[in-house]
């Protein structure tokens, strides 16, 4: 039957979450940047990191790290964005500088957007449709991190090959008079909307420097802002954001107005000193996760200021499905049943730093439904409780694979490195195999090229996966499809060498649903996740978690799964 509205209730702000409890409906709303909570200076310490916490670049075409993206999502915008809220709702693509999300036409190959009227940059220059074409042309030609995301645009091939001036006028048609931008793709791309929500596709004026810009210019020179903040200084170890005087809130979902008047980033301070500074109130936010040796301190003495959130990152071992013993699904399931995930969690610092998992998709990912068949007493809640060694040994016996030699490859760059590798060796030997550890130490380049190359015949390898955007396809299609397996190649990502045509067909159906029925697509991805878990090409054990620490004077904490802590939505009291 058709639904009719029985009653309308004004909630005073944009709804961010909805829950039903019995005969009651509870609605959470986004806080509005007005009144007592508006104002002040937010002090951010991003932690150490490989660049001392500095962003790799503040140019949207080059930024490809959490700090750079966190800054740019407060200063710049694309046609689309992610809902600026915490939890799984923050993975939803919403209209940004476009008025709406279009339904693709031409068999999924054409997307036509309408630009919001009267949007200007911080310097007063109007935002025009051509600015989005300029952004993509820069992303394709300047040696930026992911030109492949837009390689399906008509005309992109010549831009990537740099065979001349980049001209996407055929693939991105713009009309200033009507304010429309039409993207024409060579083939349907179900993830295209996610790619348009990334900083690479943020609007930039046609006068933006291209390949003639120096590296220093790309690193430290801000481009004109469209968001609530603009970069007013970047000198030495300090980057300052202040309010954009020309900003008006055009979407509370994609780009709500900010609370602090000023946001200051201080780089070059390591995480341990950063923790102390936040505890003492000298800084307000530690943007990087709290170090493991400070966890007990912050979670006990500063519990009210500590926030733990799952990341879109799964850590697992790949089980080579094409060679003995793991070409037999029973052997793969046996290892999954035998693994003491609680013990592995202890090696990684305990339940604060990671969450137990038996499946591919992490929490806060669309399509995630908790599922764990590999435990004593499986339940609909999907919780792991204990290993089932009796079932594991029965399965190994049924395969007749006892005594098979197995190499377990590990690398220190994937937490917890060799220690978990040794535990897997012990587990396999306990099941009757002849397992040995192949430890690559700190040599990540050699490690990844070796485990990727099928000619090396590695049976088990430690791996982790984090995605650039929150779509189930970015986990599953890259890692676990027939096409993802590239034989004898150091660039192969399907280290399990997994290929199941019936699952590939289900993946294609889910991809087809993404563009017009996201809810149905989410249900389809959940079923695919279950089927892959049952097929056991991987040995998942944890989902990494972020531990955020804020000062006493900070309120309204939210962590967006895509962008991290929503700094502009924090209250400074």
- State the DSSP code for 565: E
Q: Tell me the sheet residues that pair with 480.
A: none
Which residue's entry shows tokens 């609605």? Answer: 27
Instruction: Determine the pLDDT at residue 161.
Output: 87
Residue 538: how many other CB atoms lie within 10 Å: 26
Which residue's entry shows tokens 């702000």? Answer: 13
Contacts by 296-300, CB closer than 8 A, 24 or more apart: 298/547, 298/549, 299/352, 299/547
Comparing CA positions, the residue from 430, 348, 431 lying closest to residue 395 is 431
Comparing CA positions, the residue from 237, 228, 274, 250 lying closest to residue 75 is 228
Helix (H, G, I), strand (E, B) or coil at 22: coil
Q: Are 17 and 28 in contact (CB under 8 A)?
A: yes
C-alpha 258/C-alpha 315 separation (Å) is 35
Residues sharing a CB contact under 8 Å with residue 296, sequence separation 6 or more, in sequence order: none
Instruction: Determine the pLDDT at residue 371.
Output: 98
Instruction: Determine the pLDDT at residue 70.
Output: 97
C-alpha 197/C-alpha 426 separation (Å) is 45
N-terminal to C-terminal alpha carbon distance within the chain: 49
Q: Are 311 and 289 in contact (CB under 8 A)?
A: no
Instruction: Determine the pLDDT at residue 427.
Output: 97
Q: At what angle do helices 418-430 and 329-338 cross, to 10 degrees?
A: 110
- Residue 75 Cα distances to 33, 58, 59, 173, 207, angstroms: 16, 10, 11, 26, 18
C-alpha 161/C-alpha 146 separation (Å) is 14
Helix (H, G, I), strand (E, B) or coil at 363: coil
Residues written for the chain: 573
Instruction: Determine the pLDDT at residue 393.
Output: 98
Q: List for the chain the helix, strand, coil content (%; round to 5).
A: 30, 20, 50
Residues sharing a CB contact under 8 Å with residue 95, sequence separation 6 or more, in sequence order: 79, 80, 81, 101, 251, 253, 254
Q: Read off the tokens for 527.
A: 């079923």
Residues sharing a CB contact under 8 Å with residue 129, sequence separation 6 or more, in sequence order: 115, 174, 175, 176, 179, 180, 181
Q: Are 549 and 290 in contact (CB under 8 A)?
A: yes
Q: Tell me the sheet residues that pair with 42.
A: 263
Instruction: Determine the pLDDT at residue 414.
Output: 83
Phi, psi of 83 (to 5 degrees): -55, 125
C-alpha 75/C-alpha 243 separation (Å) is 9
Residue 506: how many other CB atoms lie within 10 Å: 17
Q: Are 29 and 16 in contact (CB under 8 A)?
A: yes
Q: Are 539 and 339 in contact (CB under 8 A)?
A: yes
Comparing CA positions, the residue from 91, 180, 139, 64 lying closest to residue 518 is 91
pLDDT digits over 449-474, tens only?
999 999 999 999 999 999 999 999 99
Instruction: Determine the pLDDT at residue 409.
Output: 97
Q: Are 527 and 332 in contact (CB under 8 A)?
A: no
Q: Tell me the sheet residues that pair with 230.
A: 242
Helical spans, DSSP H, in 379-488: 389-399, 418-430, 444-452, 472-479
Which residue's entry shows tokens 């074409």? Answer: 133
Write out residues in the chain with pLDDT < 70, as ranges.
1-6, 11-23, 27-35, 49-52, 163-164, 211-218
C-alpha 144/C-alpha 150 separation (Å) is 11
Torsion angle of the four alpha carbons 184, 187, 188, 193, in this order, in degrees rounded to the nearest 10: -50
Q: At what angle do helices 501-514 and 518-535 cross, to 10 degrees?
A: 160
Instruction: Determine the pLDDT at residue 221.
Output: 87
Phi, psi of 368 (to 5 degrees): -75, 130
């Amino acid at each position: 039957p058709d639904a009719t509205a029985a009653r309308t209730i004004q909630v005073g702000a944009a709804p961010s979450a909805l829950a039903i409890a019995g005969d009651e409906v509870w609605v959470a709303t986004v806080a509005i940047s007005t009144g007592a909570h508006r104002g002040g200076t937010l002090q951010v310490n991003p932690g150490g990191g490989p660049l001392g916490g500095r962003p790799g670049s503040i140019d949207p075409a080059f930024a490809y790290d959490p700090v750079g993206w966190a800054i740019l999502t407060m200063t710049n915008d694309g046609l689309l964005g992610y809902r600026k809220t915490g939890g799984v709702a923050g993975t939803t693509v919403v209209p940004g500088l476009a008025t709406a999300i279009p339904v693709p036409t031409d068999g999924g190959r054409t997307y036509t957007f309408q630009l919001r009227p009267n949007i200007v940059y911080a310097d007063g220059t109007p935002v025009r449709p051509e600015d989005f074409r300029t952004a993509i042309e820069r992303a394709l030609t300047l040696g930026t991190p992911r030109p492949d995301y837009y390689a399906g645009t008509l005309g992109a091939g010549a831009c990537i090959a740099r065979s001349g001036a980049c001209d996407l006028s055929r693939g991105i048609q713009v009309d200033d008079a009507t304010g429309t931008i039409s993207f024409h793709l060579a083939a349907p791309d179900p993830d295209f909307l996610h790619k348009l929500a990334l900083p690479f596709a943020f609007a930039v004026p046609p006068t933006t420097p291209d390949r003639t810009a120096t590296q220093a210019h790309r690193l430290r020179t801000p481009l004109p802002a469209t968001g609530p903040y603009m970069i007013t200084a970047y000198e030495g170890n300090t980057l300052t954001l202040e309010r954009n005087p020309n900003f008006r809130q055009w979407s509370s979902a994609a780009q709500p107005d900010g609370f602090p008047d000023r946001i200051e980033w201080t780089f070059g301070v390591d995480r341990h000193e950063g923790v102390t500074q936040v505890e003492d109130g000298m800084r307000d936010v530690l943007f990087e996760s709290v170090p493991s040796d400070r966890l007990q301190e912050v979670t006990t003495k500063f519990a009210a200021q500590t926030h733990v959130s799952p990341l879109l990152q799964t850590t697992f071992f790949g089980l080579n499905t094409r060679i003995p013993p793991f070409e037999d699904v029973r052997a793969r399931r046996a290892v999954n049943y035998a693994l003491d995930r609680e013990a592995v969690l202890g090696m990684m610092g305990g339940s604060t730093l990671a969450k137990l998992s038996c499946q591919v998709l992490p929490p806060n990912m669309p399509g995630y439904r908790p599922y764990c068949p590999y435990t004593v007493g499986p339940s609909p809640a999907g919780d792991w409780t204990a290993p089932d060694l009796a079932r594991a040994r029965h399965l190994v016996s049924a395969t007749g694979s006892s005594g098979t030699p197995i190499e377990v490859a590990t690398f220190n760059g994937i937490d917890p490195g060799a220690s978990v590798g040794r535990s897997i060796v012990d587990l396999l030997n306990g099941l009757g195999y002849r397992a040995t550890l192949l430890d690559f130490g700190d040599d990540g380049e050699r490690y990844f090229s070796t485990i990727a190359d099928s000619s090396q015949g590695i049976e088990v390898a430690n791996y982790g996966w984090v995605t650039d955007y929150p779509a189930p396809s970015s986990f599953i299609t890259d890692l676990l499809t027939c096409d993802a397996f590239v034989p004898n190649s150091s660039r192969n990502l399907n280290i399990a060498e997994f290929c199941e045509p019936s699952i590939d067909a289900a993946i294609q159906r889910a991809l087809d649903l993404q563009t017009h029925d996201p809810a149905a697509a989410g249900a389809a991805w959940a079923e695919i996740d279950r089927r892959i878990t049952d097929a056991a090409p991987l040995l998942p054990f944890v989902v990494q978690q972020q531990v955020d620490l804020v000062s006493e004077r900070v309120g309204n904490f939210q962590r967006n799964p895509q962008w991290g802590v929503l700094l502009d939505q924090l209250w400074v009291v």
